[in-house]
Amino acid sequence: MLTASHRDYRILTAETVPAYLADIPTLRERLGGSASEWRARDVADGNLNAVFLIDGPKGGLCLKQALPYVRVAGESWPLDINRATFEYRYATRVAPHVGALQPQMFHYDADQYIIVMEKLEPHIILRKALISGTHYPRVPVDNAEFLANTAFHTSDLAVPFERKAADMEVFARNLALQRITVDLVYTDPYVDVWRNKISEPLGAWAEALKRDIDLKDAVTRARLAYLSKAQSLLHGDLHSGSIMVTADETRIIDSEFAWVGPTGFDTGNFIAHYVMAWFAKPFQPNQATDATTYRALLTADIVSFWQRFEERFLAIWRAFDGDNDGVPATVYASAVDRARLESFRRAYVADLFADTVQVLGIEIIRRIIGYAQIADFHVIEDVATRAEAQAGALAFARSLLIHPERYQDIASVVAALARFENAGLLPDTTRHL
Ligand code: SR1
Ligand code: MG
């Protein structure tokens, strides 16, 4: 979406990218040589933006430009280009706490809505690895480290309220992308809207979800939490398409959906994509690993992610002695106070877990019924087979949301997966699986 204030904005192409970079001395220096020697490739893969990789005689760069519309939909779906600002602001805000777990940012152009960053090579998108059955064991550990740090250091546990208010002031303006999240994640699957993409075999499931008032109540509680529980700065879209990997490195990318909200949004989103990979796995073609083995790796990764997140979040909190207004050290001054603080910490993390489970269920439902569906299921060519895999995931998601008391720890979440895989295309909402 363009306004009069964007009159200098131009959409770059692989042909025009070298000339753009040639005008920026620090970037010219990184590439080496001159523009005529640089090769730019359009590698856009996500739903929203243009992305180019550029190689020069000395080095490479990645350039990302916000388009004035949703890339995968085209100009019929206009979208505010200021989203690039929020991606850049998030990356710089969390940089002191996450180190090399995100790409280095080299340049931000506030007129062209362009970010130029480290080119990640030979990294691949984690979703592609999950689909091919290739295992990257560092991911759960690294992502737990990333999220424990971003969640803690941007919360009232770690900063004076004035600092958090400054974050809220910035990211509360990320309105266009929050409209997408509120609509596509929290609302669309429960109403009739043109954006939903419901395959014919999933028709009964889609109808059942829309009629299930217990489910809709649970989703409404989560939607209200997303809008009103300003707990920490969220990445806002941390799924397997927002993580790039090699065997030794994990990089979190694409933080344009950043928002101050419930911490469980990021943790639940991440786990949801491992769970969907689990349901899709037996039906995906061309696998590097046998499905049973890979499923066991996925469940182990889910458990180790949560355990590591909890362990690191608590350890960072225990070691922290900076100013904050949420849990002031002056209030917890005696040995008795400090012992009580430890049980307070445990309760805080239990609340994060409950929010995580809610978002886990909600993210699964929106990726199967809603607009932004995922390749993990769509590589299954046979629509009926794909729907069977998706139905299992929907049944599991519904159970998480309407029976949260059954899912008090991560072991009970993964232990339940197999109970739902044969849920079938006719949802039985009276059968409390
Ligand atoms: C219009 S598509 C929007 C979705 O793509 C992004 O990757 C986010 O997941 C968002 O919900
Ligand atoms: Mg993205």
* Closest ligand relative to 87 C-alpha: 2
What single letter denotes the amino acid at residue 399?
S
Alpha carbon of 408 to ligand 2 centroid (Å): 30
Alpha carbon of 340 to ligand 1 centroid (Å): 42
* This prediction's pTM: 0.97
Alpha carbon of 80 to ligand 2 centroid (Å): 15
Alpha carbon of 42 to ligand 2 centroid (Å): 16
Q: Which residues pair with 327 in a beta bridge?
A: none
Q: How confident is the model at residue 149 (pLDDT cuts 50, 70, 90)?
A: very high
CA distances from 136 to 63, 123, 128, 249, 258 (A): 26, 11, 11, 9, 26
CB neighbours of 257 closer than 8 A, spacing ≥ 6?
Answer: 86, 174, 177, 178, 180, 181, 234, 235, 236, 237
**Strand 243-245 to 250-252 pairing:** antiparallel
* Closest ligand relative to 255 C-alpha: 2
pLDDT digit string (tens) for 182-222?
A: 999 999 999 999 999 999 999 999 999 999 999 999 999 99
Nearest residue (by CA) to ligand 1, atom 3, is: 372
Residues with CB under 5 A from ligand 2 (ion): 46, 254
Taking the C-alpha atoms of residue 139 and residue 362, their distance in angstroms, rounded to an integer, is: 22
Atom of ligand 1 nearest to the CA of 195: 1
Nearest residue (by CA) to ligand 1, atom 4, is: 372
Atom of ligand 1 nearest to the CA of 254: 7
pLDDT digit string (tens) for 7-16?
A: 899 999 999 9
Q: How confident is the model at residue 257 (pLDDT cuts 50, 70, 90)?
A: very high
pLDDT digit string (tens) for 282-332?
A: 999 999 999 999 999 999 999 999 999 999 999 999 999 999 999 999 999
Mean pLDDT along residues 132-148: 98
Alpha carbon of 12 to ligand 1 centroid (Å): 22
List, chain by chain if needed, residues with CB within 6 Å of any ligand 1 atom. Answer: 46-47, 70, 180-181, 184, 237, 371-372
Question: DSSP letter at 399?
Answer: H
Alpha carbon of 174 to ligand 2 centroid (Å): 15
